[in-house]
Amino acid sequence: HYWGVQVDGKTGEVLAVSRRNSDLVENIHDGAILDDLFRTNGEILKVLYTTITGLGLFIFTVTGFWLWYGPKYMRRTQHRGVIAGS
């Protein structure tokens, strides 16, 4: 049920009618397909989906930064402790 129609702006002639797969991909990407599959009113599943994926992205960003920065921080603090202890 995703169709695209190209119309000439000057003459109004229909240039092409074709099936649009990009809308399906977009609905899968943003979670709107869940609302279509479960026939919910509004966009509650889409909002829930995007909230969960957004929180997941934030958590992965923070933990990824710590996995990159943590060893540098620990090496620096251990190095200072060795110098201060000598």
- Find residue 19's DSSP bridge partners: 3
63/60 Cα distance (integer angstroms): 5
54/63 Cα distance (integer angstroms): 14
84/58 Cα distance (integer angstroms): 37
pTM: 0.60
Mean pLDDT of the chain: 89
pLDDT in tens, 64-74: 999 999 999 99
Amino acid at 30: D
Check residue 21 and report its DSSP letter. S
pLDDT in tens, 39-67: 998 899 999 999 999 999 999 999 999 99
Amino acid at 7: V
